[in-house]
Structure 1
Amino acid sequence: MTAQHGKVPLQTEHLAWFSQHLGGRFRTAGLRIQFHDSQQAGIHWQVACPEEYQAAILQGLHEGMNDAFPHYLASRGMWITAVLVDDVNSSPDAFYRAALLAVAQARALLELSGRAYNLA
């Protein structure tokens, strides 16, 4: 493994499903993202997403990335490949949390593999 490969989540895909029981109902959302170290920098949409959820997803991804992989998006790409909407229970807040969860999952898997992200 080169030093460069120890720094980032290379070519991985993560699916996060957030669901929280709120008494008589749930709030739910799902999101799948791909990390691409060799593609255009930034966050890109591969699928359509209802407009009401877009800002929350982007906010969650940016906040999660700033915490977990602070310099990744400046030079590498992330693709949103699935937006899983529950017609009754989805909300912007649920998508925000699903986005945070997807990034946290990527970080946790790197740490479990012994390849912690280099913040330098």
Structure 2
Amino acid sequence: MRERLKKVDRLVNVQRQLHRNAELQLVSLEHREAELKTAQEELLQAMGDTDALHGLFVDVIAKRVKMLALEEAKTRAAIVDQRAVTVAKALQVKRSEKLFSRVKEDVRQSQEKTDLNAILEAIVGRGSTSLP
């Protein structure tokens, strides 16, 4: 019974670590999305500037903004997927923790039964007891 408790405890720890990893990936994707938005805004500002050489780079800047927008859309889709994964991992952690609690309770009850049996055996083993 104690071996099962140890196994379930390891399972809970692994599930927590997987959940943390999923959360870190989500944060990383959200950070990447913010970087892409900032880069797009900076390029759009550069397009709006009245610079003498500005006209030479309009096509290049427009292509770069379009590429950043596409990458941002892909990142946004990845964020949606990663949020679903993160929620699923959180649910797995909760289920594992509940399983751990049940196994821990089973171990406690088993130990109580063993202790009670030992006490009863000790009482019965004493022999006859005189009643007052």
TM-score by length of 1: 0.27
| Greater C-alpha Rg | 2
More helix by share: 2
Highest relative contact order (Cα 8 Å, sep 6+), 1 or 2? 2
Q: Which has the higher strand share?
A: 1
